[in-house]
Amino acid sequence: MKGRLHSIESFGAVDGPGIRTVFFMQGCPARCAYCHNPDTWNECGGREIAVDEIVHRAKRGLPYYGNDGGVTFSGGEPLLQGKFLLEAIEALKAEGIASAIDTSGTYIDEDSEDVIAAADMVLLDIKHIDPAKFEELTGREQGPLFRLIDIVNRLNKPIWIRQVIIPGFNDNADYIEALNEFISDIKTVKKVELLGYHNMAENKYERLGIKYRLKDIKPMNADKLRNLSRLTTIA
């Protein structure tokens, strides 16, 4: 089986626990206003990749993974390629390599539960807890997010929560308190990460001829982000 790949990052340290090989899969149904990889959106972009290449590249990192590291499938939205991911995760498992799924919570289909069941953990990027704001940011309805949370709860799957903090949009204590309440029903949250908005991809949008919707918003202040992070239920 073949999948479509955007890029590979070796020795990733921010896409799950430990040192990881990160496969950025091609294709995403969302159009997040702050997406830093708009070149992953097109499902026909990138290049073909086989499961054997996934395993071969992942095995290079074995000396560095230790007890916590492994492979993360990111994107784009990796759950768009559920059948391929399932085969890849099972092949990695046979080599003793753990897998994580980094999902936007904007897409789910009949293969998603099997993929999540096979993976060792999930990284969930919560775009916004308010349905209207969620749709404004992503162009997608919030339904898939709740379906994914339901699957994670039923499977008792470990999960990291990630939330991008955007100045003037959700950079206040009230939002963090509401986020804590929103994720309180997820039984297996191991970590909550607040990620500061940045505009480093703005030039990429210009090259691709795509309007950058947050053009007038400055990057998130690091000190304020640290203060807000102290308010999360699980730091």
pLDDT score of 186: 95
- Bridge partners, residue 191, by sequence: 160
For 25-34, what is the mean pLDDT?
Answer: 96
In a domain, 136, yes or no: yes
Omega of the bond leading into 76 within 30 degrees of 0 (cis): yes
In a domain, 234, yes or no: no
Neighbours of 206 (CB within 10 A): 12
pLDDT for 127 beyond 80: yes
Q: Is the CB of residue 124 less than 8 Å from the CB of residue 179? A: no
Torsion on CA atoms 87, 93, 97, 99, rounded to nearest 10: 50
pLDDT in tens, 154-209: 999 999 999 999 999 999 999 999 999 999 999 999 999 999 999 989 999 999 99
In a domain, 235, yes or no: no
pLDDT for 41 beyond 80: yes
Average pLDDT, the chain: 96
Q: How many domains does the chain have?
A: 1
HEC string of the chain equals: CEEEEEEEEEEECCCCCCCEEEEEECCCCCCCCCCCCHHHCCCCCCEEEEHHHHHHHHHCCHHHHCCCCEEEEECCCHHHHHHHHHHHHHHHHHCCCCEEEEECCCCCCCCHHHHHHHCCEEEEECCCCCHHHHHHHHCCCCHHHHHHHHHHHHHCCCEEEEEEECCCCCCCHHHHHHHHHHHHHCCCEEEEEEEECCCCCHHHHHHHCCCCCCCCCCCCCHHHHHHHHCCCCCC
In a domain, 164, yes or no: yes
Query: Any idea what the CATH number is for the domain that residue 50 is in?
Result: 3.20.20.70
Paired tokens of 4: 């479509």
In a domain, 107, yes or no: yes
Q: What distance in Å separates the CA atoms of residue 169 and residue 180, rounded to the nearest whole number?
A: 17
pLDDT score of 227: 97
Rounded to two decimals, what is the model's pTM? Answer: 0.95
- The range of the structural domain enclosing residue 194 comes to 2-229
pLDDT for 30 beyond 90: yes
In a domain, 204, yes or no: yes
Paired tokens of 64: 């560095």
Neighbours of 102 (CB within 10 A): 25
pLDDT score of 233: 86
pLDDT score of 235: 55
Strands 70-74 and 121-125: unpaired
